[in-house]
Every structure is written in structure tokens, then in C-alpha cells.
Structure 1
Amino acid sequence: MARLAAFDMDGTLLMPDHHLGEKTLSTLARLRERDITLTFATGRHALEMQHILGALSLDAYLITGNGTRVHSLEGELLHRDDLPADVAELVLYQQWDTRASMHIFNDDGWFTGKEIPALLQAFVYS
């Protein structure tokens, strides 16, 4: 019998409005009733995930920042694998010839080098 269920968030569990649907909430509750540990994986910041999942009273874990950090749903940091400061500075201050946007996470939130309204709206809590 499985003891852990892991889920991707964006494009999988989250509705287009970035919330969990009623069927999803019901399914998650049934899994918890069976003592299955829930884990949610995302590229989002932990602050964003705590807002989305925080009111659910679930015993769950968050894999955030594209795998760089693991938190309990209550916000306790369980694991981190951050870039060394010298590497982060090199990346941040390098001039890049690209239309891609750069996103940076730290303990306090999520930052981007380009103001893209759709992203800013989707990640409003971090």
C-alpha cells in the first residue's frame, strides 16, 4: 500500500484561477483518511504554497523552488539546496542576450527582472 502521494501543482492540481477544485480537495481528504502522506511539488515559492494549501489542515510537505527546498505545510524548512552566493551573484549581474525572464527566490519572496503581469498576478503572495 502506498504511504506517500506526490503531486505537481501548476497544470495538474491547480485550477486556471490558481486554486484547488472541490473534487481535488475531496480526493486529498480521502487520501489523508487512509494515512497517506501528501507532498506537493512546484516551482512556486513556499509562501505561495502556504497561501494555497494553508487553510486545508493537511499534514503535508512542500517541495518548492523547482526542488531547491522542502518545507512542512506549517512552514518549517526541512531541506535547502541553494546556489552558492558567488554563483548567484555571477548569474544576477551577467548581461544575458535573451528574452527570457529571470526569477530569483530567497527566504522572503520571489523576484523577477521583468514585470510580466500574468506572472505577477499568479504569484501575488510571494
Structure 2
Amino acid sequence: MEKIIAIDVDGTLLNDDKKITQRTKDSLIKLREAGHKLVIASGRDYSGTEFIAKELDFDTYGGFLSNFNGGRITDYHTGEIIANHTLSLDFIKEFLDFIRDLYIDIMIYNEGKIFTNSMDTYWLHETASMNNMEIVLRENLIDDIDFEPNNILLSQDPSRIDPPSQKIYEKFGDVSTQVKSTPWYYEIMPKGINKGKSLMEIADYYKTDPANTIAFGDEMNDYSMIEAAGIGVAMGNAVEGIKEIADYVTLSNNEDGIASYIEKFIL
């Protein structure tokens, strides 16, 4: 039975050296050769996953890239965007005005670039590097934003991120989807948009029964995907909240956890 396999990137597909091991790469190629479909599901911008798709031979086998935690889905072969969920400009302006005095930093992806209002934004340069993106400084970004992004990425030192995040959730939790995707990232998406919905949109596109989907993840932005998939697989290094809802816990991202599951249960 043909399956759709959705795989998170950081902490899941990539090991701690930010590499895809040869064993994992080989297992994912054999997976496609056997007729299964592969989806890269990430909070990253498209440019932060395109080079990974090339490494996994998407040029030969095709597949989908789900970016911005489900905000946009792209058919790699054709470049067609099959789903594009954005935050309205009215929401963006109200949101950015609200967080103006909160101790939390702003990064917004647009047209393959990262927009920010300060070059001292926490984790800015690391984010730009891993996404292969140019940084655009707009000191008046809060007042002058003129585009509708798929998400807003907020960042702060892990020891300081929870108080402002809580205030943001109390204010906008009913009208947006919010998730702490790493200890230093807090992400805002359109209401109802997440990796789980994205996986179901792709299953619908392929006319595949959701029961024939498998998802791999490690952080709380993977929660909806692990929960929605026919089989949700937590990495051995996953946070406890993901392990608790997973159908199976595999080895860690440093131990070829993806390959171990694929070899044992699919191939």
C-alpha cells in the first residue's frame, strides 16, 4: 500500500551536525523506489529546505515541501504551490504593535529573505545561515510592514522567552495558531494552520487515505502532524510531549532513527 511519509528537518532528518547520514539518505531513496511519497515538513522557508530536497534526490523522485509549519505547500517538480495560508495585514499590524514593548525579537520570512527590525535579533544569523537566506534590516518594520507572510517567527533566549510568549498567547491565541518550536523560537501561524493540516492537504491531493500517512518529528511544532498521521513516529531525542502521543518511538536523530523505522516497518 502506497504511503505518504512526512519528515521534520531539524532534530529529525538532520543529525546534530546538521547532516543527513548516508544510511538515512539511502533508506529514503529506497522508499521512493518502492512507490511511496516523501514530504519535507518544516518551519523553515522554502530556501531552507530546497537544498535538502536536492540531496534526497527530489529531482528524480519528486515530492512536496511543506514550509512555515504548514503555511505553504509546494510541488517540488513543478513549482506549483498547492496551498498558501497567510496572515492578514490587519492582523500583522495589530500583532506587531502589541509586541512592540515585549522582550521578544522578530523575524519574518518574505520572498526568500528574513526581515527584522534589529541586527541583534536573537538567533537571527543562525536562522539566516541554516535557511540560506539574506537578512533585510527594516528598523521601522513594526510600523511599515507591507506584505502578508505565512508566519511570524519570534525568538529570545530560552530563559526569557516564556513570559512574553504567554502574553502573546493570551491576546492572540483565539485567532492564530501558536507553537514553541524550539527552546528559543515562538511561531505564529494563521488560525488552524499547522503541520498536521498540511499533511492532510497533501493526502487529499494524492487521494490517499490518511491512515496511510506516517510522520516523523521531535518538537512541539510536530505535535499536530504526529497526531494526525496514521502512524506518528517520535525520534528518540524528541521532547516528552511528542513521545507521549506517538504511536512509536524510534532511535534518535544521531542514530539513524528514520532509517531504522523505515527498514524495519516499510521496506
Q: Indicate the TM-score class for this superposition, using the shorter chain for normalisation.
A: 0.7 to 0.9
- State the Cα deviation string for residues 27-76 of structure 1 (Å, max 9, x = none): 11111011101011100001111122125223111110011110112432
112, 118, 121: which is aligned to 2:129?
121
Deviations 1:71-125 (A, max 9, x none): 1124321111100111122223441412x33221223333344163333332224
In structure 1, distance between residues paired with 2:82 and 2:19: 25
Could you say which residue in structure 2 is the equivalent of 1:59?
A: 62
Q: Which runs of 4+ in 1 moved over 6 A?
A: none
**Residue aligning to 2:161:** none
Q: CA deviation at 1:19?
A: 3.3
Q: How does 1:1-126 map to 2 (within 5 A)?
A: 1-55=1-55, 56=57, 57=59, 58-74=61-77, 75-94=79-98, 95-98=100-103, 100-113=104-117, 114=121, 116=123, 117-125=125-133
Gaps of 5+ in 2: 135-267
Distance 1:8 1:115 in 2: 23
2:180 alignment counterpart: none
8 Å contact 1:68–1:81 — kept in the other structure?
A: yes
Gaps of 5+ in 1: none
Q: Are the structure 2 counterparts of residues 36 and 10 from structure 1 closer, same or farther at C-alpha, using a change threshold of 3 Å?
A: same
Amino acid paired to 2:130: A
Distance 1:106 1:34 in 2: 36
Cα-to-partner distance string for 1:3-43 (whole Å, 9 max, x where unaligned): 21111111000133433221111011111011101011100
Amino acid at match of 1:107: E
CA distance in 1, matches of 2:15, 2:46: 18
* TM-score of the two chains, using structure 2 as the length reference: 0.42
Which letter maps to 1:48?
G
C-alpha distance in 1, partners of 2:42/2:22?
20
TM-score, normalised via structure 1 length:
0.83
Aligned residues: 125
Q: Give the distance between the partners of 1:93 and 1:54, measured in 2 at CA.
A: 39
Paired residue secondary structure (1:16): coil
Deviates more, 1:104-113 or 1:53-62: 104-113
The CA distance in 1 between the partners of 2:16 and 2:101, in whole Å, is: 31
